[in-house]
Structure 1
Amino acid sequence: MEQQNPRVLTVNIGAATPTEHSAIPVTGIDKQPVEGPVLVRAPGEKGVAGSGLVGDVVCDLRHHGGDDQAVYAYAREDLDDWQRTVGRPLGNGVFGENLTTTGIDLGTAVVGEQWAVGEELVLEVSDPRIPCRTFAGWLGERGWVRRFTEAATTGTYLRVLHPGEVRAGDPIVVRHRPDHGITVRTAFRALTTQPELLPELIPATALSADARATVARRTGSGTLAR
């Protein structure tokens, strides 16, 4: 996808709704576009804190939210591709993303890449999204975890380096890109279907603490510090 005029298409937040597809009986995956602005700030430690967007709900704090995964972005272009695949409309926010973007290929974003969004907000690319059964149950598509994994169009989690407000239409400006070249798509494949790629992730120290622990454990490389 050629990158052109990268920007936030919509800002999406979710409320707690019942689910049968998680050990936690509620989920915040049903994100809906809202009128901005929405304040975004570092929420705090994983397991205690949830979303980086004020007003957004994260229910399963053990597996989601916290500083390393404060914001989730997914590209409208990838949603369009999935629409054609599944044969039904997929609205902005349906994948549980906080920011539906346009004009930017999130799969080629480099881990540790920094975005200036709007006037003050600064975000940093951290992890690819690993699909779970709550996601699969929410979409109701047969074999969804396998299909999503094979496609490797995961979107990206981001941490908040500087708080600020975000609204639909805000430009996304890449202000720093690490030279290690490890992309979100490479990180996803290494952490899922291609473990032989795991050693390549060692320089990508902007991965979440959980992902860095996985890399260290499975490669025998010791603790990977930020």
Structure 2
Amino acid sequence: MNLAVPRPNPAKESGVTGIDKRPVAGPVLVRAPGPKDGGLGSGLVGDGIFDRVNHGGDDQAVYAYAREDLDAWEAELGRTLPNGAFGENLTTSGLDVTGALVGERWRVGEQVVLEVADVRIPCRTFADWMAEHGWVKRFTVRAVPGAYLRIIVPGEIRAGDPIEVVSRPEHDVTVGLTFRALTREPELLPRLLAADALPDDLKEAVAKRT
């Protein structure tokens, strides 16, 4: 579990970014933050979202990335990537985040239930933070984006809490498929419409492109 340490953001007009996430032991209260514009930003109390136009809100309340995928990037980049290095709130272990279905639900600890809602599209802030040549393209080609989650049942979470998949929808729209459709493989876009749990604005945009 990782929370933001605010730092200057030369990549955007907002001037501050919360992409620098650092591990905390908890407990941390998790609750729905409300709309992206005018809401509380992050779903984790104590976290920070500073670009409210593009980030945060109910459909991006929590960002999860797999430790196994960070390890693969470590090997490729030749540098240490601690938990939180990609700006994720939850660094998971033993969970196939890329293969997660849009709309599947995870129980975290004893109380919290989260729902897979969206994917992370790399931006200038992420590229500036990573300081790797051609980072946006490399991240996009790898197509291992992590998952944004909405909060179904609020509560407290702590570092080390188990994560259990408690329900899965019947469609085949995964996090990886969604990312590929939205970036390099637009021919996949019609398949996304089977996922009712996608954010409404994204479904509308996909419908217009198909």
Paired position in structure 2 for 1:53: 44
- Partner residue of 2:4? 14
CA distance in 1, matches of 2:57, 2:188: 26
Which residue is 2:13 aligned to?
A: 23
Query: Aligned to 2:165, which of 165, 174, 182?
Result: 174
Counterpart of 1:74 in structure 2 is 65
Q: What is the SS of the residue equivalent to 2:98?
A: helix
Paired residue secondary structure (1:182): coil
Question: TM-score if structure 1 supplies the norm length?
Answer: 0.91
**SS of corresponding position for 1:145:** helix
Displacement after TM superposition at 1:210 (Å): 3.1
- For residue 149 of structure 2, give the secondary structure of its aligned residue in structure 1: strand
Per-residue CA shift, 1:189-226, capped at 9, x if unaligned? 0011000000000111111233212212211xxxxxxx
TM-score (norm 2): 0.97
Deviation at residue 23 of structure 1 after TM alignment:
2.2
Matching residue's letter, 1:167: R
Q: Which residue of 2 aligns with 1:184?
A: 175
Shift of 1:168: 1.3
Pairwise CA RMSD: 0.8
Does residue 140 of the first structure (1) align with residue 131 of the second (2)? Answer: yes
Please state whether the residue corresponding to 1:107 is helix, strand or coil: coil
Alignment of 1:193-212 (within 5 A): 193-212=184-203
| Code of the aligned partner of 1:35 | A
Selected match of 1:106 from 97, 109, 129: 97
Q: Do the aligned residues in 2 keep the contact of 1:121 with 1:162 (CA within 8 Å)? A: yes
Report SS of the residue matched to 1:36: coil
- Give the length in aligned residue pairs: 209
What is the rounded CA distance, in whole Å, between the counterparts of 1:35 and 1:185 in structure 2? Answer: 30
* Higher alpha-carbon deviation: 56-65 or 45-54: 45-54
What SS class does the counterpart of residue 108 from structure 1 fall into?
coil
Q: Distance in 1 between matches of 2:95 and 2:166?
A: 14
SS in structure 2 opposite 1:146? helix
Runs ≥4 residues deviating over 6 A: none
CA deviations on 1:79-113 (whole Å, 9 max, x unpaired) are 00001111110111010000001001101000000
Q: Which runs of 5+ in 2 are unaligned?
A: none
SS of 2:11 mapped into structure 1: coil
Question: SS of the residue aligned with 1:142?
Answer: coil
Q: Which residue in 2 is equivalent to 1:35?
A: 25
The CA deviation at 1:15 is 2.9
Q: Partner amino acid for 1:74? A: Y
